[in-house]
Amino acid sequence: MAADAYALAGVTETLTEAAAAEGIADYVEFRMDGASTPLDALDEYDGSVPLIVSNRPEWAGGTAAESDRLETLAAAAAFDAVELVDVELRTIRECGWLRDELREQGVELIVSHYDRHDKPQKSDLLQIVSECNNYGDVAKLVVTAEEKTDSLALLQSFNTASERGIRVTGYALGEIGRHTRVIGVFYGASIAYAPIVSDECAPDDIDLGTLSNLVEWVSAPR
């Protein structure tokens, strides 16, 4: 099985680390909720790798306060280096003004669904993918895998969605879902994510350099 066209995204909370992703990543995802002055960091960014920006609240795995996180996200979309904005399905569903603002900026939208509690079922995931696709350009699923079948449900949803012409991405959390970060692209995931710096990896993460090497090795003709 060969991987279809996919992009690598190096994830960081510190844009000064973006230089380490040059020549490896197609994008750098800037987790703004982990930065003290994210808009200043964007203003100072002079790297060559285009950016994905996200600003996660606690309920989606981040630390951003709800008071101004959406306004900050909308302001970030105006920077030339920003090509994609990642926003949660619940948020984009409820905030019409944000949808309009982001569309006016001309960025692409990754509409994401994070679930750290419920076990994923393929039928539920496909319904979520469809709704994410209605609002954005890329549907992103991040779920927790407690059993092999949880990872399998995610990969099957990638495969079905991509066969329907939907751009989809994501991965499974947890040790048993770790491999989905690598093999997801072989089932239709359009973006593979990894921390740029290995020191910032969680136990179920794979750093960017390792992920790039693994995908290339599996993709290489034998």
d(CA 135, CA 88): 10
Quote the pLDDT of residue 59. 86
Quote the pLDDT of residue 98. 94
d(CA 92, CA 30): 19
Kindly report which listed range (39-53, 145-159, 197-211) carries the lowest average pLDDT score. Answer: 197-211
The whole-model pTM stands at: 0.93
Q: How far is CA 92 from CA 171, 178, 185, 189, in A?
A: 21, 28, 26, 21
Q: Packing angle between helix 122-135 and helix 148-163, nearest 10 degrees?
A: 40
In this predicted model, what pLDDT tens digit does every residue of 111-158 receive, in sequence order? 999 887 767 688 899 999 999 999 999 999 999 999 999 999 999 999
In this predicted model, what pLDDT tens digit does every residue of 64-100 receive, in sequence order? 988 899 999 999 999 999 999 999 999 999 999 999 9
Confidence of residue 200 (pLDDT cuts 50, 70, 90): low
Higher pLDDT, 5 or 2: 5
Quote the pLDDT of residue 219. 81
Contacts of 114 (CB under 8 A, 6+ apart): 60, 61, 88, 142
Quote the pLDDT of residue 65. 86
In this predicted model, what pLDDT tens digit does every residue of 105-123 receive, in sequence order? 999 999 999 887 767 688 8
Q: Does pLDDT of 48 surpass 80?
A: yes
In this predicted model, what pLDDT tens digit does every residue of 11-35 receive, in sequence order? 999 999 999 999 999 999 999 999 9
Question: Phi-psi bin for 186: left (phi > 0), alpha (psi -120 to 50), beta?
Answer: alpha
Quote the pLDDT of residue 222. 62
d(CA 125, CA 190): 16
Quote the pLDDT of residue 32. 96
Cβ atoms of residues 180 and 154 within 8 Å: yes
Take residue 32 and report the two structure tokens written for it. Answer: 């703004």
H/E run at residue 173: strand 168-173
Mean pLDDT calculated for residue range 170-176 = 92
Domains of the chain in start order, with CATH, are 7-219 (3.20.20.70)
Q: Does pLDDT of 51 surpass 70?
A: yes
